Structure 1
Amino acid sequence: MKRLRKVKILATLGPASSEEDMIEKLHEAGADLFRINMSHSSHELMRTLVKRIRAVEERSGRPIGVLCDLQGPKLRVGKFKNGTEQLEIGQTFTLDNKDEPGDNTRVYLPHPEILEAVQPGHRLLIDDGRLQLRAEKTDGKSITCVVVNGNKISDRKGVSLPDTTLGVGALTEKDRKDLDAVLAVDDVDWVALSFIQRPDDLAEVRKIARGRVGLMSKIEKPQALECIDEIIELSDALMVARGDLGVEMPLESVPGIQKQLTRACRKAGKPVVVATQMLESMISAPVPTRAEVSDVATAVFEGADAVMLSAESAAGDYPVEAVSTMAAIARRVERDPNYTGIIYAQRPQPEATGSDAISLAARQIAETLNLSVIVTYTSSGSTGLRAARERPQVPIIALSPVIQTARRLSVVWGLHCVVTDDAKDHDDLVDRACRIAYREEFGKPGDRIIISAGIPIGTPGSTNMLRIAYIGSDGMSGH
């Protein structure tokens, strides 16, 4: 299955898309990897979904990535006597530690860490920002606020704290149990971490995971932007989670942050996923709005590795159409005359390593000689990431003897991953690359390809060789 686009599509599974035949339809429509949201999935359902994805993978013959998204700390107010209360702008309203039903003057806040961390002047946003409070007085047990905006509050609404850094880590007790269950499956490739605030939030997960899954940090807190370079360095990938980011920061600042994060990840050679409300209207309509098409196109023009569907594929009425639409937008943008210039303008300088120099040279030679494809051998995945960081005009085939590496690279821009044994010797290395390029329809007899690999063969992190080869009449190397 050859995709005619470079950007990848991450589709969320849910009630509308949990059956195996629907997962297969989504994959055929263009989904390269699947997200399981642990906020809504039991351990049993997670295991079932992973099995179904792997069955689809087996039939398709293509590596498919699986991402499990941990819920993170969900902060909510308690309940009210009447279920809901009307508030007046300018009135006082208190959040406290008394476990009693609330009224229009106070409510229980079952999070002592918030009561201790909020300072006078800090904002508290309730129900995705529909109600805005400002802290006036705090004593560690209660927060006395004034109502700044909005007039309604009801049971168990979420609380966002754009000005407050909480002392708690990003992992809750539920997350730890979910992470243990995910790692026990041994068939999950990525774990997404919600509400990352600081580099330390990654340390505990890194220790537990021990490299068995890639760590994708979701950027949805303003505090994360203050130390974003360190967070990128400690993460294996980033997700721009624009929903919560748009609650905690002014909406108008989100597009600029999206661009900033996309470019920072490209520079660091780390995959970046743009997520949330990309084709939101397709939850209930068979076609998107023009604005949504522009939104997806912007992420593709910017060089994001992947774009994500949430409720559109998980709970919407048109999951397959949403994936097909996203794939069609991506294909059209990547053929746009302006696309190449925009992508080239952001190209980062290569790092001063042999592997980076080889990846740069592979791209330059492939484009100068108009070669059919770059074929890169990658055991750990780092050579594949370097090849993608260059954003070449020609396709990239990433050959790996490790199925887990191929699956993990399914989120990376432009990589067509194929699982194959390590080459036996230099001739086999060239023949295998030509044969696979021919079989996967990236080249025909007489076409030239460029191969990057490490000698001695099978040594991770030793990419030190470039070779131009012809595809022979039988699909083997014409040397």
Structure 2
Amino acid sequence: MRRSRKVKILATIGPASSSEEMLKKLFEAGADVFRINMSHTDHELMRTLVGRIRTVEEAVGRPIGVLADLQGPKLRVGKFANGKEVLTPGQTFTLDDNPEPGTSTRVYLPHPEILSSVEAGHRLLIDDGKLELKAVKSDGKSIVCTVVAGTTISDKKGVSLPDTDLPVGALTEKDRKDLDAVLATGVDWVALSFVQRPEDLAEARKIARGRALIMAKIEKPQAVARLAEIIELSDALMVAR
């Protein structure tokens, strides 16, 4: 059967919404591509989901697309002595290379690429933007910040850097293993998270060797700055948060 090469309505599926009956109902309701989030899906479950989708595809006699969404770099703060801390807008808060548990004034940031790249004036968004920090100074080992908005920070929350160009690619070691696994199942699409530059797409294309279409997720200002180049190497774009 000819595989689906177009995306009209994308539905994200997981263990709770992936029975063949539910997949068929979603397809009949208009979904023509099913997204598997590799941030929360191991290889065994991924293969099970793809198998169910292909079974439904045969039953309905229409092509159904499968999109594997790679996790991308996951940047997180360390842990706190009390699990979480309440901060006050205007106070100073530091992210550093000290692995000791965090306090109300500092926390470990186990990402030297961030410590060496953030400059004064750059924003650091914690926990999907619930906490906004602004860098005051950075020396490669610590980033001294001012709390701009938000009041709570807790263990292992994600860090987003809208103003900082990091010297890392979009594919992590986990992503490369996941990419090999999803390509082996014959997925139609692979989505790349946190794309910053066209080179990120080139690396994925080299691995895929035409076995799947490549979708670039636009969720960083750095990608917007080089959007024309990224479009040239992408089969589709996803505007992410």
| TM-score interval, normalised by the smaller of the two chains | over 0.9
After superposition, residues 54-453 of structure 1 pair within 5 angstroms as 54-185=54-185, 187-241=186-240, 243=241
CA shift, 1:7, in A, is 7.8
The C-alpha deviation readout for 1:9-33, integer Å capped at 9, x for no partner, is 1111113311111111111221111
User: Residues of 2 paired with 1:86 and 1:197: CA distance?
Assistant: 32
Corresponding letter in the other structure for 1:83:
G
Counterpart of 1:239 in 2: which secondary structure?
A: strand
Q: Is the 8 A contact 2:12 2:37 kept in 1?
A: yes
Equivalents in 2 of 1:120, 1:56: separation in Å?
53
Give the AA of the match of 1:12: T
Whichever residue aligns with residue 188 of structure 2, its letter is D
CA–CA distance in structure 2, aligned partners of residues 230 and 66 of structure 1: 26
Asked if structure 1 preserves the Cα contact closer than 8 Å seen for 2:7 and 2:32, the reply is no
Partners of 1:47 and 1:117 lie apart in 2 by 38
Name which one, 1 or 2, has greater alpha-carbon Rg: 1
Structure 2: 5+ residue runs without aligned partners?
A: 1-5
In the TM superposition, what whole-angstrom CA distance separates every residue of 1:422-464 from its partner, at most 9, and x where no partner exists?
Answer: xxxxxxxxxxxxxxxxxxxxxxxxxxxxxxxxxxxxxxxxxxx
TM-score by length of 1: 0.48
- Structure in which a larger fraction of residues adopt strand: 2
CA distance in structure 1 between the aligned counterparts of 2:101 and 2:201, rounded to whole angstroms: 36
**Which residue in the other structure is 1:8 paired with?**
8
CA distance in 2, matches of 1:237, 1:129: 26
Shift of 1:168: 0.2
Q: Sequence identity of aligned pairs in percent? A: 76
> In the alignment, what sits opposite 1:392?
none
Q: State the superposition RMSD in angstroms.
A: 1.3
* Greater than 3 Å deviation, 4+ residue runs: none
Distance 2:88 2:24 in 1: 51
Question: Are 2:7 and 2:33, in contact at CA under 8 Å, matched by a contact in 1?
Answer: no
Counterpart residue identity of residue 20, structure 1: E
| 2-structure distance, mates of 1:176, 1:141 | 29
Q: Which has the higher helix share?
A: 1
**Separation (CA, whole Å) in 2 of partners of 1:96 and 1:35:** 36
Counterpart residue identity of residue 201, structure 1: D
- Greater RCO (Cα-Cα under 8 Å, separation 6 or more): 2
Cα distance in 2 for partners of 1:88, 1:240 equals 32
Gaps of 5+ in 1: 1-5, 244-479
Partner of 2:104, secondary structure, is coil
Number of aligned residues: 236
Task: Give the Cα–Cα distance (whole angstroms) in 2 for the partners of residues 193 and 219 of structure 1.
Answer: 9
